[in-house]
Amino acid sequence: MPENSRRCFLPVILLISLLLALLPLAGIVWFVVTGTLTSVDGLFGCLILVSLSAIFLLDVFWQMRDRGWLHAGNKNKESSKAAGSEEG
């Protein structure tokens, strides 16, 4: 597969992962609205849905970090490098 077509699919994959992360949250809202959250089935269902949502949100986070859209982790590395160079 050529590199240009691969780059075209990356935003689509990001959107699909984001959609698949939000759908389980709608299921949790459904458990709350119907009042079955306090049953054993509701608790385990919510646990499964939260796990699914967390997996897809983690995938979205990694994709955004790899593209350079998130710079939160890089600030700590740069400040520690600057502090290390000042001490030595």
Mean pLDDT, the chain, rounded, equals: 83
The domain limits of the chain are 3-87
Q: What is the pLDDT of residues 1-17, one digit of tens each?
A: 566 666 677 788 889 99
Q: Say how far apart CA 40 and CA 23 lie, in whole Å.
A: 21
Query: Could you tell me which residue, 75 or 39, shows the higher pLDDT?
Result: 39
Compute the distance between CA of residue 9 and CA of residue 13 in angstroms, rounded to an integer.
6
Residue 34 has pLDDT above 90, yes or no: yes
53-77 residue pLDDT tens: 999 999 999 988 888 888 765 555 5
